Structure 1
Amino acid sequence: MKPNISKTLGINGLGRIGKLTLWHHAGRKYFDRIIVNTGRKVGKSLEDLIHYIERDTTYGKLSSFLYGYQAKPVISDVDEKEASFSVNGVTVKILQKDRNPKDIEWAAHDAKIVVDTTGQFLDPSLAANAAKGSIRGHLEAGAQKVIASAPFKLKEGTPMPEDSVTTVMGINDKVYDPLKHTIISNASCTTTCLSHMIKPLIDYFGIERVLSASMATIHAATGSQAVLDRLPKTDAKDLRKSRSIMNNIILTTTGAAKALQLVIPEMATIGFIAESVRIPTATGSLIILVMNFQEELNKKPIRRDLINSIYETAANTNTNGYLIYSDKQNVSSDIIGTPRAAAVIEGHETHARTGAININLEHVRGIEKSIMEQIKDQVTSIQVTQAVIYGWYDNEMASYVNMLGDRTVSIAEAMH
């Protein structure tokens, strides 16, 4: 970031991702000041809010998270009147008055970059003065760049505004144009992991050899789910969302397939199915990726060892650490807190099987009738290999918030 640009970060929302984003930047210390908008009063005093910030059921105490067993208190200089305090030497100012992005006092506090972690304002096509608020409101309120910590949600058929873009660090982050883009989606934790699992295979084999693909994420619980069974909301379409996550495995949906095409456009040319299952764990999720490849004559067959070597090579050459290859027998808690790991490939469980598929050429589009008449055997056979790959991801801090932090800092450094 150039000297004349404020090193002040704005964070809208202080839920799971908002709090962990504050933790990340308090440890990273790239920004001198962090302005956090909660949009409402929290507890009875500033001390109650600090109590929430410095403790976390999943990751422990903030001080231990930053400094381990040598930890000392990291929150100081508490000023109740000014609603400010210091976290690890970084000044934090709390705003509690406004929930609509256009009304938040970013300009007054010189916050040029805002990370919106509320998950409420995800349609960049809405005007800044939209009745229920809009992500563009942050720009009207003084921000120059806004990063959404979730995928965009536009109405069907609505084009993506030219100043908006979806990126995943290590995949397509270079498409961000600082002179053009003002609203950036950091996609989702699942899309982040999935894209890092797919890209090494696409780079090695080429998209033309991929016949189809699918994935299922075995995903930890999120704040949108019910702790105990509750009455469904008015006009609710999915009644399972109102069931207790503490006691159930819950089928749900994921937008990862659609979002994947935004960061790896080649995937739009093949059929791709994405499913999601929620389980009663706090964090630590797993993607089971299935890829169907066409084998080619005179080329090395696709086997388990080849697939694992592709990932191992990609991980070793990926100096940012976004992809990790492991030959250990992991469980979900083993990957919680893994630094910057978008995906941890469980090489021990990679599988590949090859079989023949018969194709009736009469049903293949584009073959002229005159050519078909010259073919005696109109049923042909091709060799297809189905590969199954497992990828772990810490869907909160490691796979998402740390990479969201990288995205935020990279945007700040490009500002001028």
Structure 2
Amino acid sequence: MKLGINGFGRIGKLTVWHHVSRKFFSELVVNLGRDVGQSIDDIAHYTERDSTYGALHTFLYGHTAKPVIKDVDEASGSMVVDGIRVRFLREHRNPKDIDWAQEAVRLVVDTTGKFCDPTFPPDHPGGALRGHMEGGADKVIISAPFKMKDKGISMPEDAVTTVMGVNTDDYDPRIHRIVSNASCTTTCLAHMIKPLINYFGPKKILSASMATVHASTGSQEVLDRLPGAGKKDLRKNRSVMNNIILTTTGAADTLRLVIPEMEQIGFIAESVRVPVTSGSLIILVVNLQEELTGEPIKRDLINQIYRKAAAEGPNGYLHYTDKQNVSVDIIGRPRAAAIIEGHETHRRTAEVTIDLKKIPGLDKNGLSMFKDQIIRVPVTQAVIYGWYDNEMGGYVNMLADRTVSIAEDM
């Protein structure tokens, strides 16, 4: 079976790296949508080298390995990468114009990040996910969250968002043709909060918030530039090389699609970008209601929840460590959606004072049942740190697992 890949940026190239190593697909067809460099030799040069993960052959086989790209052919637009033929298309950028049928491609992974609205028709002027199916594909996976321009429209029945290891089975091969693999941040966050929901239940989690300290991405500027016409965010056009940049994340919205229990929990998500090429961190803060009697929730209990979830998880997507890490330590960690650093877990318990007389809807008869109309409820605030390689280790590997699982049902 062949796999189509639309886009050859960070996620697109690393997707090729993963699949030439995995060898599930017999051939990869990559749509560039434009001429690149002076010849296909320049595409091979780009494919073989990476500023974050090093050379492809050393990534695959270690530092004594030899280059694995052979048979580079301009006429056919192809090369052989570690035994897998990779063919490059350079004619069309609009998905509906890509002739996947001619290439015998039934499954496409769109890594461009540009086509994220599952409601757009195939002939949408700016291009659309459904255009891939117009071109002959049966199913499309996108390496980004869905972004629907019209907020009043419901999610189409044939579209679904999944995070591997969290709601994997929400994908129904009989129904779904468009699948979002969420984002790297949502993937990590889902694996961090799911064990807590499984243990405590959503009602005991009063509220939660997270901040991601996120590596730079290709959407940012190397040097300061004027903002585009009509742009409101005046930080995105500032240099990524020497700034900590406040930004936004849609992880909270996407998380509700992946873990429905989050609808019951007040949740806020924030993000900052820092000048590293990969390796990001989520700081998750959870407020837990204590039992009115009994021992408070301890740090050891929280870490034990994660240790058990990591040990018993069927796919090994959640990792736990007591070691002290920095961001470079987790780059390339295989199939690690989230790496909980238990050394930094901490918690504090305090009492929240509630004046029953100020609770709306509680009448005098109800108040008379209480001897003391001022009650104190113990609440524990827990802070958990989770690392993730926002490119290969924590995202592309999950995307590839989703891709293979869908292909197996086709």
TM-score (norm 2): 0.98
CA distance in 2, matches of 1:121, 1:364: 47
CA distance in 1, matches of 2:311, 2:363: 48
In structure 1, which of residues 275, 283, 296 is the aligned counterpart of residue 278 of structure 2?
283
Partner of 1:372: 367
Distance 1:217 1:56, change over 3 A: same
8 Å CA contact retained: 2:4, 2:105: yes
Instruction: Quote how far apart the aligned CAs of 1:414 are.
Output: 1.2
Unaligned segments of structure 1, at least 5 residues: 1-6
**Correspondence 1:406 to 2:375:** no
In structure 2, which of residues 187, 191, 201 is the aligned counterpart of residue 192 of structure 1?
187
Amino acid at match of 1:33: E
CA distance in 2, matches of 1:70, 1:131: 49
In structure 1, which of residues 79, 84, 100 is the aligned counterpart of residue 73 of structure 2?
79
Instruction: Quote how far apart the aligned CAs of 1:373 are.
Output: 4.8
In the TM superposition, 1:146-225 aligns within 5 A as: 146-155=140-149, 156-225=151-220
8 Å CA contact retained: 2:30, 2:88: yes
8 Å CA contact retained: 2:31, 2:88: yes
SS at match of 1:241: coil
In structure 2, which of residues 32, 40, 54 is the aligned counterpart of residue 38 of structure 1?
32
CA distance in 1, matches of 2:67, 2:390: 27
Instruction: List per-residue Cα deviations over 1:108-164 (Å, max 9, x = no partner).
Output: 011111000000000001111111110010111111110000000013222100000
**Correspondence 1:320 to 2:282:** no
Partner of 1:241: 236
Amino acid at match of 1:307: I
Instruction: Quote how far apart the aligned CAs of 1:378 are.
Output: 2.4
In structure 2, which of residues 110, 134, 145 is the aligned counterpart of residue 140 of structure 1?
134
Partner of 1:52: 46
8 Å CA contact retained: 2:306, 2:340: yes
In structure 2, which of residues 80, 83, 86 is the aligned counterpart of residue 89 of structure 1?
83
> What's the Cα RMSD here?
1.1
Instruction: List per-residue Cα deviations over 1:49-70 (Å, max 9, x = no partner).
Output: 1111110000001111111123
In the TM superposition, 1:99-138 aligns within 5 A as: 99-138=93-132
CA distance in 1, matches of 2:292, 2:354: 17
Instruction: Quote how far apart the aligned CAs of 1:372 are.
Output: 2.7
Instruction: List per-residue Cα deviations over 1:227-258 (Å, max 9, x = no partner).
Output: 00001011111000000010100000000011
SS at match of 2:235: helix
Instruction: Quote how far apart the aligned CAs of 1:300 are.
Output: 4.6
CA distance in 2, matches of 1:413, 1:38: 26
Q: Give the total of aligned pairs.
A: 409
Amino acid at match of 2:239: S
SS at match of 1:108: coil
Instruction: Quote how far apart the aligned CAs of 1:363 are.
Output: 3.6
Instruction: Quote how far apart the aligned CAs of 1:360 are.
Output: 1.9
CA distance in 1, matches of 2:361, 2:69: 68
Amino acid at match of 2:282: I
CA distance in 1, matches of 2:86, 2:72: 10
**Correspondence 1:11 to 2:5:** yes
8 Å CA contact retained: 2:292, 2:378: no
Partner of 2:92: 98
8 Å CA contact retained: 2:44, 2:72: no
CA distance in 1, matches of 2:39, 2:139: 31
Partner of 1:252: 247
In structure 2, which of residues 325, 339, 342 is the aligned counterpart of residue 344 of structure 1?
339
- Identity across aligned pairs (percent)? 65
Unaligned segments of structure 2, at least 5 residues: none
CA distance in 2, matches of 1:382, 1:95: 63
